Each structure stands twice: as C-alpha cells, then as structure tokens.
C-alpha cells in the first residue's frame, strides 16, 4: 500500500513568517493529495487539495505544490498568524476508489 511520510513533526515560526510542511509518498499511481488542519480538540478539516494534473494550487495565504517525479508535495503558509497554530495532516490517494493514506501530522505553532 501507500506510505506517506510527513516532515517536520513540529514547527515553530514567528507571526508573519512563512511555514512549509513537506510530504513524500511511495505509490506513483497516487493522484489526489489533500491537506487537513486540526485545531486543538476539534475535528480535522480539509483546507486545500491538489490533483496530479496540477503542479500548484493557491488559496489566499495557503498554497500546495506537487512534484510527481520526486513524489513529494508541500504545504506553504505565508504571513502566518496565531490562528494558524494547529496540527496539519497531508494525505495521498490513487483516486477512483483508492484509499486515502495520511501522514503522521505536523504540529505548527505560530508565536505572536
């Protein structure tokens, strides 16, 4: 099956700085890559996703990039704010009936 590795496991940044979280995957057939944000005590929520026919996708301060050749994808958060503090999970799937496999998560802390 798929193996998704996520780094770093913890990340601390100053408010206003950028944060980058990286994930690698093992199954070259994977073609759907969502990112979830989980605030303390709450459920994971989808914040952005990308499909393999796209190299980059942006939504305001959040962007995701995908390198299919190297089998890695990254989440970029610019101008970080304290409310960005949460655990972020990446995931990968073959799509069309394939399972969704999660990374182990990154605890992001944004200091005021």
Distance CA 48, CA 30 (A): 17
- Region of 17-25, 40-48, 52-60, 68-76 interacting with another protein (CB under 8 A): 40-48
Write the binding mask 49 to 88 for another protein: x where contact by CB under 8 A, - elsewhere.
x---------------------------------------
User: Strand (E) positions, 45-93?
Assistant: 45-51, 56-59, 62-67, 72-77, 86-93
Q: Which of 18, 28, 79, 99 binds another protein (CB under 8 A)?
A: 99
Residues 38, 44, 46, 48: what is their CA dihedral angle, to the nearest 10 degrees? 30
Chain residues in the site for another protein (CB under 8 A): 6, 9, 32, 34, 36, 42-46, 49, 89, 93-100, 102-105
């Amino acid at each position: 099956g798929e193996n998704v590795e996520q780094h770093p496991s913890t990340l601390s940044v100053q408010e206003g700085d950028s944060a980058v979280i990286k994930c690698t995957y093992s199954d070259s057939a994977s073609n759907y890559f969502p990112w979830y944000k989980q605030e303390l005590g709450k459920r994971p929520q989808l914040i952005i996703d990308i499909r393999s026919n796209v190299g980059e996708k942006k939504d305001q301060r959040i962007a995701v990039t995908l390198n299919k050749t190297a089998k890695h994808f990254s989440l970029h958060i610019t101008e970080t704010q304290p409310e960005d503090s949460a655990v972020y999970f990446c995931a990968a799937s073959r799509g069309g009936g394939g399972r969704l496999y999660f990374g182990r998560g990154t605890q992001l802390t944004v200091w005021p």
